[in-house]
Structure 1
Amino acid sequence: MDFFAGVLGWTVIAEPGGSFSGWVGDRLAAQVVAGEQGWRVVFGGDEARELAGNSSVDSGRVLHGPWAPPPRHGEPCWVELMVEAPDDEFWTGALGWETRPATEDFVLFTSARHGDPRSVAGRLTTTRGQGWQTYFAVDDLAAACAKVSELDGRVLLEPTTVPTGVIASVEGPHGGSCVLLEKPAGWGGAWSG
C-alpha cells in the first residue's frame, strides 16, 4: 500500500481487519484487503455477484468508469483483460456488454447502460500475464516512473505509446503490478472518445 500510495499520491486510511483504502481527494481509488492478491475489478450492475478472473459486480454507485468524472492523478482510469484464449461471450453475457474489434488481438467491450455506448474495458489476447490489468492515471509519466524506482519498485515496460495513450507498466517491491497512463482525457484514455 505504501508503494502505490507513494507513486499515485493516495491518502491512506486504515480499515478494520488489517485492510487499507487509498483516496484521491474525496474519491476512493483502491482498497487493499488483507489476504487478497492482485487487483480485484468491480463493475457496476443491477445485482451484486462474483464473476470470473478476480472480478465482481456491485449494485452501488460506480466511482470510476466511462460515465464518472475524468480520472485524476492516482485514480483508476482503465482495465484490460489479458487472456490466451478469449471468452468474450462470457463477459458480454454476464455484463450486457457489446464487443468492438480494435486490432487483431484487441477487443473493446462497450456498454450503453447509461445512454450512448462507451468503452468499458479492453481484452488483449496474449501469452504474457493473465487476468485483469488495472490502469491508473498519472499527470507526469516520467516522474511517476522515477518515483517507482525511488521506492524500490521496477518499471517493467518503459514509457511507450499504445492505442490507449502513453503508458508504463510497473511493479512494487513486494509484487503487485499495474499500468500507469499519462493524462487520460477520460476512462480508457484515447478510447474515451
Structure 2
Amino acid sequence: MPVSSCGLRRLELSVAEPELSVDFFAGVLGWTVIAEPGGSFSGWVGDRLAAQVVAGERGWHVFFGGDEPRELRAGSSVDGGRVLHGPWAPPPRHGEPCWVELMTGSPEDGYWLSELGWESRSGVEDFVLFTSARHGEPRAVAGRLTTSRAEGWQTYFAVDDVAAACARVSGLDGRVLVEPTTVPTGLIASIEGPRGGSCVLLEKPAGWGGAWSA
C-alpha cells in the first residue's frame, strides 16, 4: 500500500482561454497572478500557490501529494513534493483551496483507499469521508458524494464572505450555480467562470474541510 496522501500538492485548471479565466478567478478570490512559460498562469495567495491555469479542455485536475507520481481516475493524479493544502497544512486563507470532494454515480471507494492509503467512514446520506493518518490521528482529507450530476473531483476555495464573493462572480460575467446555502461542510455557494471551471466557495473554514476539520 502507498504511503497515505495527506492532502493536495496542487490544482490545475485546463481551459481554452487561460488568461481570461485566471483573471476571473483572481477577481473573485483575490489571487496574485504570475504569467508562466508556455502561456499558462499561476494564482497565489501570499507565498502559497492556489492554482495553475493552463490551455486545454479538461477542466479542474487535482494533484494529491504522494510517494509515487502517477495518473488516477476522475481527473486526478499523484504528484511528488510538499503538500501545500490539507489537514496538516496551515489553515486556508481567502482564495486558497480548502477541500475536495469526489462526485460520482459509481462509488469505488476501495480504489481510492488502495491508491492513496486512505481510510473511510460514513458521513450523511450518500456521503463518505476519506481520512488520512499519515501524521498521527486520522483527519478528514477528502469526501465522496454519490450523485447523478457531473462526475469528477469538485474543488472548494475559502472566502471571507460568500455573499460578497457571489456578487463579484456576477460582476465578472460568471454564474452562481447554487446560491449560498448551509451544508455539513459549512456555508457554501457553487460558481462557474464565463469560460468554465466550476467550483465551490466555502465561507471562513476553520481548517481543511470546514466543519469536517473539527
**TM bucket by the smaller chain?**
over 0.9
- Which residue of 2 is the match for residue 46 of structure 1? 67
In the alignment, does 2:143 pair up with 1:150? no
For the residue of structure 1 that corresponds to 2:27, the secondary structure is helix
| TM-score, normalisation: structure 1 | 0.98
In the alignment, does 2:121 pair up with 1:124? no
- Which residue of 2 is the match for residue 133 of structure 1? 154
Aligned length: 193
Q: Which runs of 5+ in 1 are unaligned?
A: none
Offset from partner CA, 1:38-59 (integer Å, 9 cap, x none): 1111111111111111111112
- Which residue of 87, 90, 93 corresponds with 1:72? 93
- Give identity over the alignment, percent: 82
- Which residue of 1 is the match for residue 36 of structure 2? 15
| TM-score, normalisation: structure 2 | 0.89
Letter matched to residue 83 of structure 2: V
RMSD: 0.7
Q: Matches of 1:123 and 1:176 in 2, distance apart?
A: 19
- Which residue of 46, 56, 73 corresponds with 1:35? 56
- Which residue of 1 is the match for residue 126 of structure 2? 105
For the residue of structure 1 that corresponds to 2:55, the secondary structure is coil
- Which residue of 2 is the match for residue 177 of structure 1? 198
Offset from partner CA, 1:110-169 (integer Å, 9 cap, x none): 010111100010000000121000000000111000000000001000000000000000
- Which residue of 1 is the match for residue 17 of structure 2? none
- Which residue of 1 is the match for residue 210 of structure 2? 189
With 37-46 and 143-152 compared, the bigger mean Cα shift is at: 37-46
- Which residue of 58, 65, 69 corresponds with 2:79? 58
Q: Matches of 1:24 and 1:37 in 2, distance apart?
A: 24
CA shift in 2, pair 1:61/1:36, >3 Å: farther
- 1:37 Cα shift? 2.5
